[in-house]
Amino acid sequence: MLIPIVLTAISFLIARTLPTDSLNKASVREIELANNNFLPSYLGYFFVSLSVNNNSTLIVVFVIIYVFTFLSQTLYFNPIFLLFGYQFYFFKTNKNIKIFLITKKLLKSPGDEDFNNLKRINNYTFIELN
């Protein structure tokens, strides 16, 4: 059980090497909490794994799910980040671009916060590390 938690902690260290970017509070038009959006997917994975009777089938199912999740790369939602106190948000900018942000801040309304030290995971996904 500790392996995923330790690997997630290591991913925070690796994320420090990502390029730095910023997001001006004046450019944020909407904020939407995204913590619960991925719960159905992970519950589906959990119930699929419960129905598997042997280890070889479980490995095949896990590899298939991993490949599809990795190749989609639209969002980097890791439920273990919640254990580290991170929140997940969708931002919509003034240019109508939807951004996925991972941060420890509790955000309620657009324009409250500047984000000057974001790490860019991809063009639409950022993480704010302390």
pTM: 0.78
What pLDDT is stored for residue 21 in this prediction? Answer: 92
Tokens of 82: 């919640």
pLDDT, position 73: 59
Residue 20: per-residue pLDDT: 93
With a cut of 50, list the residues of the chain below it in pLDDT. none
What is the predicted pLDDT for the residue at 104?
92
- 27, exposed or middle or buried, with CB in 10 Å at 0-12, 13-18, 19+? middle
Q: How far apart are CA 89 and CA 102, in angstroms?
A: 6
50-60 pLDDT tens trace? 788 888 888 88
